Chains A and B, each alone.
Chain A
Amino acid sequence: MNLVQAINDALKLEMKRDPRVVVLGEDVGRVGGVFRVTQGLWDEFGDDRVVDTPLSEGGILGTAIGMALYGLVPVPEIQFADFIFPGYDQIVSELAKMRWRSGGEYSAKMVVRTPVGGGIRGGLYHSQSPESLFIHVAGLKVVCPANPYDAKGLLLASLRDPDPVLFFEPKRIYRASRGDVPEGDYTVELGKAKIVREAEAAPGKPAVTILAWGAMLYEAVAAAEKALELGVECEIVDLRTLWPVDVETIAASVEKTGRVIVVHEAPKTCGFGAELVALINERCFLSLEAPPVRVAGFDTPFPYTLEMDYLPLAHRILPAIVETARY
């Protein structure tokens, strides 16, 4: 199963299980979504539960918040994460604050699904990774799966979570990421990172922790393979849930290796890497053997050409690994 199929499977399963779940968005019904993630849902669940909307992100998200206040579990799809900004006000001003401003009386439980990231030559309006803009807004949870198993399990966990979740789907690996996905119900706990590659540091043999998520996880793995040939071991942490971040798993890894690299597609300045490095400094300062490093997008709009230079691909991660290991 690929990532698209796994997400589709999770939606289908939860819609059967929970009549409160309603999918809405542009082209999600008859068309099955621009990336076909909601394909077949409309045929199975009909107009009432799979709702085609006009191009109206503020309307989609605002309506979804009202539905959630009333006890439904809306799953709005925003066609591209880049299109979320007309509805950003609804997310920041209303969705994130609902539980708090009602003194804990109401929450707006929903999952906003949206494809994220570059690598499909989408240019400046179809490639961005705006996760830190949502992490910065207290009250939201932010998830980004890197494989079909996690995608299904994290989506089911998100749909059952009492808080609003931004579910970023790395579109570059929508179909490229394949793997076994169990039939039926299971969840992957929110807020738990996963060590996808372990490493041990030894005297004269440095190891480096790499923090990554989504499509860039595969670049980190590719760089780690190359680094091994150069005698540097890498421990790779797939964050899976970006917020609330699993700082315990990160700190344990960095305390072990003393060296850390954060990889993300978003521009470097004020990207989530900045927060991760700050957390590491707070938690692991005395364990550090080298300055933490960020390998990220550039502080520019996302380019149409030069895309493979803009993205923090393996060829950009590898020199950072070597430098950090030799520091």
Chain B
Amino acid sequence: MSQSDTQQIPQQESPLTRPSGQLDHLADLYRQMLLIRRVEEEAARAYAQGKIGGFLHLYIGQEAVAVGSIAALKPEDYVVTTYRDHGVALAKGMSARALMAELFGKATGCSKGLGGSMHMFDAQTNMLGGYGIVGGHIPLAAGVAFASKYRADGRVTLCYFGEGAVSIGGFHEGVSLAALWKLPIVFICENNEYSMGTPLSRSMSVEDVSMKALGYGIDRDRFFVEDVLDVEQRIGEAVQRAREMSLPTLVEVRTYRFRGHSMSDPAKYRTQQELEERKKKDPLFRARVKLVDEGYGESRLKALEEAIEAEVADAVEFANTSPEPDPSLLESTTYDGPFAA
């Protein structure tokens, strides 16, 4: 819960209170998480086949953070995230086709194949980018929130980053300005316990990231991700604080990635036992168990899962058969107007 005792949080309305259709809602979140999981698994396969080059940072294990937090948003709200951006892009509504084609470097990708894995961008869903410079996007996200406030359009910006970004200047500059100007933004630290291969205890003097909020006088929250609905509820409180009172919040979400930092990382810095223990708490798996336990119905779940398989297979096929971007794209997307080639 919020640590602030000075701010009263008004009662939540939709989308958090869902007296009816709660199970359908959970099924929808499960569907989104499964889509991310399956897209990432297929991306890993395509990477191994050499169809995706360069760097590939998978979101496997962390799906509940993107899906739960974005469930608390309205479609017109903004998200800005890190290089581990596939999950956030899909949860915000970008198509699996546009994502996979971008990974394959094809002209049909969300950035016409120019960005690749770390630099997704989708104007239609207000996904304002994955950013490859750690922490550099945090002041940028504050600027998006500044513009929301300036225009009084009631929109909220979610800004995601890892705990590794908290030690860099951009984090402090962004949070400092958001606090000073009371911007409608939620800073979500996805603390997956390893900044690349270095564990939390070796990279931060204070392991509780949310404590940084105290110095800036903003609200904070901190919790372990177990249940996607819980993420929606907790982030929802911060979103509401942003939307209704134009106040920023720093939320530390403790999560865990099941794969290495990137495809080239065998993750030898942690034990197999630790990984297996964490996999038992997989929020995706837990959501499925809950759906079954509460009577959503195995046959409906099967149908949902088959639809995801078809969607992912279609995305891979689409990426495979899409054309490469033409070299003429290079200069014409660098400048606009009379100077464009």
Contacts and interface: CB of A to CB of B under 8 A. Distances in A.
A98 to B, nearest CB: 8
Contacts of B115: 101-103
B248 interface: no
A58 B135 CA distance: 11
Interface of A: 22, 48, 51, 53-54, 56, 58-59, 61-72, 74, 86, 89-90, 93-94, 99-107, 138-139, 141, 161-163, 191, 244
B90 interface: no
B42 to A, nearest CB: 22
Given A103-B333, A104-B112, A163-B337, A66 B170 contact: no
Contacts of B335: 99, 139, 141, 163, 244
B141 interface: yes
Given A70-B147, A101-B129, A59 B123 contact: no
Interface string B103-146: 00000011111110001011100001101110011111111111
B203 interface: no
B116 to A, nearest CB: 9
Contacts of A86: 169
A145 B245 CA distance: 44
Contacts, number: 148
12 contacts: A54-B176, A59-B142, A62-B170, A63-B146, A66-B140, A67-B146, A69-B144, A90-B140, A99-B335, A102-B129, A103-B113, A244-B339
B147 A66 contact: yes
A42 B151 CA distance: 19
A62 B131 contact: no
A58 B142 CA distance: 12
Given A62-B174, A66-B145, A101 B121 contact: yes
A68 B143 contact: yes
Contacts of A54: 176-177, 180
Contacts of B332: 104
B186 to A, nearest CB: 14
Given A102-B121, A102-B123, A63 B142 contact: yes
Nearest to A24: B146
Given A63-B146, A70-B148, A103-B111, A191 B121 contact: no
Contact of B337 (A63, A65, A161): A161
Contacts of B295: none
Contacts of B169: 58, 86
B215 to A, nearest CB: 14
Contacts of A106: 121, 123, 128
A94 B112 contact: no
Contacts of B20: none
B333 A67 contact: no
B19 interface: no
Contacts of B131: 93-94
Contacts of B123: 102, 105-106
Residue of A66, A105, A138 most packed against chain B (CB within 10 A): A66
B147 A99 contact: no
A62 B173 contact: yes
A59 B133 CA distance: 14
B333 A70 contact: no
Given A54-B177, A106-B123, A139-B335, A72 B133 contact: no
A101 B111 contact: yes
Contacts of B294: none
Given A63-B142, A86-B169, A138-B334, 15 more contacts: A63-B174, A63-B177, A67-B144, A68-B143, A70-B143, A70-B144, A93-B131, A101-B129, A102-B123, A103-B110, A103-B114, A103-B333, A139-B335, A141-B335, A162-B336
A62 B140 contact: yes
Contacts of B113: 103
A127 to B, nearest CB: 25
User: Which 6 residue pairs spanning A and B have beta carbons closest together?
Assistant: A66-B143, A62-B139, A59-B173, A70-B147, A103-B112, A63-B143
Nearest to B112: A103
A56 B177 contact: yes
Contacts of B119: 101
A106 B80 CA distance: 14
Nearest to A190: B339
Interface string B153-184: 00000000000000001100110110011000
A64 B136 CA distance: 13
Nearest to B178: A63
Contacts of B140: 62-63, 65-66, 69, 90, 94
Contacts of A51: 181
B327 interface: no
Contact of A58 (B110, B122, B170, B338): B170
A11 B54 CA distance: 44
Contacts of B333: 99-100, 103-104
A89 B147 contact: no
A29 to B, nearest CB: 13
A53 B143 CA distance: 13
A66 B111 contact: no
Contacts of A63: 139-140, 142-143, 146, 174, 177
A130 to B, nearest CB: 20
Contacts of B147: 66-67, 69-72
